[in-house]
Amino acid sequence: MSEKMWSGRFTLPTDKFVEEFNASIHFDKRFYKYDIKGSIAHAQMLGKQGIISSQDVQDIERGLAQVLEEIESGKFEFLTQDEDIHMAVEKRLTQLIGDAGKRLHTGRSRNDQVAVDFRMYLKAEIQEVLALINNLLGTIINKAEKNIDVYMPGFTHLQTAQPILFAQYIMAYFQMLKRDYGRFADCLERMDYSPLGSGALAGTTFPIDRHFTAEKLGFKAPTENTLDSVSDRDFAIEFLSACSICQMHLSRFSEELIIYSTSEFAFIELSDDFCTGSSIMPQKKNPDMPELIRGKTGRVYGSLISMLTTMKGLPLAYNKDMQEDKEPVFDAVDTIKASLKIFAPMVEKMTLLTPKMVKAATAGYSTATDYADYLVRKGVPFRESHHIVGSTVAYAIQKGVDISELTLDEFKRFSNVIESDIYGSITLEASVNARKAYGGTARSAVETQIKNGRNFLDEIR
């Protein structure tokens, strides 16, 4: 029974299977740096407040430094009977420095200890995610600039709709990821409060200084309600929500990379080092990386749903159910970071098959809307012009030609207002560059988007 730091109340040892079922050390050991950092700040606060001696503080700092070295060098043994990283560190500390190690837990509980570790861990991980998004945003904007004159078809319902610039297309994902950056940054802002010192749920009778530990640990301030502090996992749920939305954006982008790299589309070619081959078909070049990113999106969604389900019926304050909060977050962290790390070089190294994209942009009567706009400018009401264009397209389909290949006499069958200037309105270049409104696909409008994107990157770097 002496192995358990809480064993004084109990007369029987923990059942072996219960011990294994109860333990979280094999996954929450990921917190070790933050647990040690939090313990050092707590010890320094206890010393400052005269709750423990300065000698105890020195011994604790020395002992925790040794524990950190042992963990990072691989010498530390993580044991199931230690339950979690908090107990494992404290146990080893006490072995190293004696009674001073037993005084470390004064004025705190594992409830506020895990809460502060979790927040410090996520704060650090969010900074890494933000850096990865930043890198991908830079890659996207470079790709847009280098291919500013490349035309491609824009789609609705996966049917050719209107011609657009490739730069306009890829800058759409810039906007999505820019919003993702904002969501993670907002999440970081809201979690920047320290729960340390909240105790089990009601605070502590010792004269602690929570503002001191919050500042030491790099938090904006301490949390304001101890009950909420130890039972709050909103910050993790918000993080998982941001991960889910970002992963969804990567999945949509992946879907298009997969489609556009098929022989049927052949708009792009992914670099060989981001693809794999077939075990039986030697000609195959499979887009496995975007397929994996698309596939892993489900597990990120699952992490969010898991956390929401865990928390949905919990009474205040801490409940053991909340031990299930970490693995979904760890998995989502690993998945979103890996996906972002893959995506930037994959986009950077992909080749645009420009002739095929341009040819596809001219197909499917993609300038029909420009034809309708031409009629409107000639005084034809839009709804009437819509019908005229539809009839013209039906005629062209029967002839097996594009509308730009019709003669002026053929155009006049559908409206007498049509003149020879129609041909200047329904070319690929004219169609794209006519859309000059802010946010549009005209080169001038896309150049503005790129400029604004550059300004955003300058602001966050």
Compute the average pLDDT of residues 262-286.
Answer: 92
- Scored b (16 or more CB within 10 A) or e, 257-290 reads bbbbbeeebebbbbeeebbeeeeeeeeeeebebb
- In this prediction, residue 103 carries a pLDDT of 97
- Catalytic position from the list 157, 263, 279, 420: 157
Residue 430 CB coordination number (10 Å):
15
- The model's confidence at residue 343, banded by pLDDT at 50, 70 and 90, is very high
Q: How confident is the model at residue 3 (pLDDT cuts 50, 70, 90)?
A: low
The whole-angstrom separation of Cα 99 and Cα 59 is 10
Say what the pLDDT of residue 4 is.
67
- How much is the pLDDT for 5? 66
Instruction: Please tell me the distance from the alpha carbon of residue 430 to that of residue 427, in angstroms, as a whole number.
Output: 5
Please, which pLDDT band fits residue 1 given cuts at 50, 70 and 90? very low
CA 191 – CA 217 distance, rounded (Å): 13
Per-residue pLDDT, 282: 83
Q: What pLDDT is recorded for position 19?
A: 78
Give residue-wise pLDDT tens across range 61-79: 999 999 999 999 999 999 9
Contact 208, 51 (CB under 8 A): yes
Residue 246 near residue 177 (C-beta atoms within 8 A): yes
What is this structure's pTM? 0.92
Per-residue pLDDT of 232-241, as tens digits, reads 999 999 999 9
Q: Quote the pLDDT of residue 2.
A: 46
pLDDT at 387: 96
Query: Is a pLDDT exceeding 80 seen at residue 37?
Result: yes
Given its phi and psi angles, is residue 460 left (phi above 0), alpha (psi -120 to 50 degrees) or beta? alpha
CA dihedral for 371, 373, 378, 383, sign (positive or negative) = positive
pLDDT in tens, 395-424: 999 999 989 899 999 999 999 999 999 999
User: Between these two residues, 282 and 51, which has the higher pLDDT value?
Assistant: 51
* C-alpha torsion sign, points 253, 258, 264, 269: positive
**pLDDT of 116 higher than 50:** yes
Domains and CATH numbers, the chain: 7-106 (1.10.275.10), 111-143+154-206+224-359 (1.20.200.10), 364-460 (1.10.40.30)
Share of the chain above pLDDT 70, in %: 98
Is the pLDDT confidence value at 6 over 80? no
Give the 3-state DSSP-derived string for 281-320, with helices as H, strands as E and coil as C.
CCCCCECHHHHHHHHHHHHHHHHHHHHHHHHCCCCCCCCH
Whether residue 197 is predicted with pLDDT greater than 80 in this model: the reply is yes
- Our CA angle for 48, 52, 58, nearest 5°, is 80
Assess whether 278 carries a catalytic annotation.
yes
Q: Which tokens sit at 300?
A: 């990120």
Determine contact, residues 188/181, Cβ cutoff 8 Å.
Answer: no
Token pair recorded at residue 220: 């904006």
pLDDT at 461: 86
Q: What is the pLDDT of residue 15?
A: 78
The band of 438, judged by pLDDT with boundaries at 50, 70 and 90, is: very high
Per annotation, catalytic residue among 7, 53, 278, 391: 278
Rounded Cα gap, residues 41 and 57, in angstroms? 10
Is residue 391 among the annotated active site residues?
Answer: no
Mean of the per-residue pLDDT values of the chain: 95
